[in-house]
Amino acid sequence: MKWLATVTALALAFATALPLSMARAQIPEEPLISPAAGEVGSRFQVVGQSGWTPGETVTLSFGFSDSPPGNSFGGPFYHERQATVLRDGTWSFPVVVNDELFPFPLYRPGFIVVKAQSPSKTAMNSFVYAVAGERPLGPPPLASFGFGPPRGNHAFAMTIGLFAAGIGALVTVSGAWRRRMHALAGD
């Protein structure tokens, strides 16, 4: 019976942890923002990596958020730029973080939200804006449990998977220890 509990716990741990980490690693952010963080005067590149229709015009809209926006940022957007999709379905646009980007001074850390929209596709990502080395706060501690803004990671599922693996390891070790003690007592 113990072997069944061990196998079940390990299977649950791998079924939870492995596909989530592999899926997360294989899904590129769209649009790509590189580098992903900086301060006033920083330059970053916004890149449409694939799946855009060649020849279409992509409108880039820029907004500001105090919390991680995910794909739920509704605005407002303060600045727009346009780029043309190349033959290979990609596009690129350089951005400089300065006072032309927003109608207000950027005095606090936050997230510069970039929405890329064409007639056939829409994507959103954000640039982490720091002030004097101070980065914005991330999602609240309970966000991974379903409270607060949408979460961007799988911390809760990973926690459950690791808990299941720990239980399986404890059951295995205690079973081996009890067999050993029983064998020693029988001698």
- What domains are there in the chain, each with its CATH number? 1-27+139-179 (no CATH), 31-137 (2.60.40.1930)
Burial of 80 (0-12, 13-18, 19+ CB in 10 A): exposed
Q: Give the best-scoring range by mean pLDDT among 98-107, 121-130, 147-156, 162-171.
A: 121-130
Q: Give the pLDDT confidence score for residue 103 in this predicted structure.
A: 87
Give the C-alpha separation, 10 to 144, whole Å: 23
Query: What one-letter code names the amino acid at 5?
Result: A
Q: Give the pLDDT confidence score for residue 14 in this predicted structure.
A: 64
Q: How many CB atoms lie within 10 A of CB 176?
A: 11
Q: Give the pLDDT confidence score for residue 144 in this predicted structure.
A: 46
Question: Is it the case that residue 76 has pLDDT exceeding 70?
Answer: yes
Q: Which of the residue ranges 33-42, 66-75, 126-135 would you say has the lowest mean pLDDT? A: 66-75
Mean pLDDT of the residues in the chain: 78
Q: Give the pLDDT confidence score for residue 147 in this predicted structure.
A: 44
- What integer is the mean pLDDT of 39-58? 91
- Asked if residue 60 lies in contact with residue 46, where contact means CB atoms within 8 angstroms, the answer is yes
The encoded tokens of residue 155 equal 């911390």
Give the C-alpha separation, 160 to 60, whole Å: 39
- Asked if residue 73 lies in contact with residue 64, where contact means CB atoms within 8 angstroms, the answer is no
- Residue 12's pLDDT band, with cuts at 50, 70 and 90, is low
Question: Is it the case that residue 152 has pLDDT exceeding 60?
Answer: no
Nearest to 36 by CA among 130, 140, 128: 128
**More confident call, 108 vs 18:** 108
The pairing of strands 122-129 and 37-38 is parallel
